[in-house]
């Protein structure tokens, strides 16, 4: 199983089908309507430019298994969002895509010192993906992630440092640095 990241280039029909064809339980909007997807596309959410880029996650050079957006590229600490389609979930594509994204950013952007990502606390698959990709848990944001059902979930912030990526190490956080 090999994946690649292919830049999204005005593939409206495919993108709408991907976004609306399944439920996204760990995103703010779990069910995306065609109208919403079209509005997002028309407003440039998935366009690639200097501030953000969108990639298809491609399996075996043809099958679109997911979508990855990196944004805040004008900042030294960009963030990203990833969606793996339901039928490909749990097969390791997310981990491969995150690793490829980290390599892409740190190889092509010399000014990027870290990459950040957030997920709901109950999204154990993504939390495992962050961990296995070398990201470190840096924050717990209590009651910060609203969902469509009206509940507000905790979220967890992760990051990977350029130096850690280059050295193949993981610098852990000292959570005991303050005595009270």
Q: What is the pTM of this model?
A: 0.93
Residue 134 forms part of a structural domain: yes
Residue 172 lies in a domain: no
CATH of the domain at 74: 3.40.630.30
Edge-first strand order for the sheet with 152-161 is 3-7, 52-59, 63-71, 79-84, 114-120, 152-161, 136-146
Q: Does the residue 180 lie in any domain? A: no
**What is the mean predicted confidence (pLDDT) over 92-108?**
97
Cα–Cα dist 115/143, whole Å: 23
pLDDT for position 85: 94
CB 64 within 8 A of CB 93: no
The number of domains in the chain is 1
- Average of per-residue pLDDT across 15-34: 92
Average pLDDT of the chain to the nearest whole number: 94
In this structure, is residue 26 part of a structural domain? yes
Share of the chain above pLDDT 70, in %: 100
Range of 131's domain? 3-167
The answer to whether residue 178 is domain-embedded is: no
């Amino acid at each position: 199983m090999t994946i690649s990241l292919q830049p999204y280039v005005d593939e409206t029909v495919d993108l709408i089908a991907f976004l609306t064809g399944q439920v996204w339980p760990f995103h703010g909007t779990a069910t995306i309507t065609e109208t919403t997807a079209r509005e997002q596309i028309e407003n440039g959410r998935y366009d690639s430019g200097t501030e953000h880029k969108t990639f298809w996650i491609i399996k075996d050079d043809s099958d679109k298994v997911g979508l990855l957006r990196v944004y805040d590229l004008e900042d030294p600490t960009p963030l990203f969002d990833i969606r793996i389609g339901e039928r490909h979930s749990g097969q390791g594509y997310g981990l491969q895509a995150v690793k490829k994204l980290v390599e892409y950013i740190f190889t092509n952007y010399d000014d990027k010192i870290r990459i950040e990502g957030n997920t709901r606390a109950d999204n154990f698959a993504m939390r495992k993906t962050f961990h296995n990709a070398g990201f470190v848990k840096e924050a717990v944001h209590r009651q910060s992630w609203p969902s469509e059902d009206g509940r507000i979930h905790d979220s967890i912030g992760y990051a990977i440092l350029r130096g850690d990526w280059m050295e193949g190490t993981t610098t852990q956080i000292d959570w005991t640095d303050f005595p009270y």
